[in-house]
Amino acid sequence: MKLIKQLKLLTIQVIVSLIFLNTQISLAQNSNKWSEGPYVGISLVFNKIKQGDASYINEGDTTVINYNSDRERSKGIKIGYNKMINDSFFVGPEFFYSGEKNLDFNDSAQAGIVDNVKFKNNYNVGLKAGYAASSDIAYVVGYGKSYQKVETSFVDSAANFDIKTDDLQGIYRNFGILFNLGSGYNLEFLYQINSIDSQIHKNTSNTPSRTAHDIRIKDVESTSVTISKFF
């Protein structure tokens, strides 16, 4: 009788141990799986315009004057949704916003005048897709529309002149690598090209000393680091 009770107790202990072990394994496996659902991330963005990707041309002239290159950092927030198509592929919408980034161009052709191009508000709305090479690494691509409020002015003798704000649109495409940190956290490294390819007309109403001209912004490149959390 005593032996039977000991066997029953041992059986219960084994069953409880197996349930606990199975739960721990399941949790560990789920923490390493790619998450599905909504996510929010914060980004540090390194922006760059290469020489020739921003330029201007004076009214009535045919000579295009290229600005020098410039770099600037900004911060952003990313919101999206992941839908797992199968164990390897995922897709979903993504929204990104970043604050002001100020790019200054030294216009040597205008006796040292500095042209300012401020990207005051920047939005990306598009689709993101990815391929999970393993439970730890995935490769991602993105494509969509960009919207930016751009303020242009120039500085002469420490004063700003001819301040103008325009709403520009473009097309962005990006690609990068995503690391699964577990428990719904991801770390992303991304390279992006935002093709704006728009012109901003600057007249002489506020700056009679300077010829009317058109500023053209072609491509803005960026690399970013984002950490995101799924909910």
Length of the chain: 231
CB atoms within 10 A of CB 214: 14
Q: Is 3 helix (H, G, I), strand (E, B) or coil?
A: helix
Give the C-alpha separation, 149 to 131, whole Å: 33
Give the C-alpha separation, 167 to 179, whole Å: 35
Contact predicate 116/152, CB 8 Å: yes
Q: Output the pLDDT for position 183.
A: 85
Q: Give this prediction's pTM.
A: 0.77
171-211 confidence digits (pLDDT tens)? 999 999 999 998 889 999 999 999 987 888 887 655 556 67
Quote the radius of gyration of the chain (alpha carbons, Å).
27
Question: What type of residue sits at position 153?
Answer: S
pLDDT in tens, the chain (231 residues): 554 554 445 445 544 453 444 444 443 444 445 778 999 999 999 988 888 888 888 887 888 877 777 888 889 999 999 999 988 899 999 999 998 777 666 555 555 567 778 888 899 999 999 999 988 999 999 999 999 988 888 776 656 677 888 899 999 999 999 999 988 899 999 999 999 878 888 876 555 566 778 888 888 899 999 999 998
Of the candidates 31, 40, 54, 37, the one whose C-alpha atom is nearest the C-alpha of residue 119 is 54
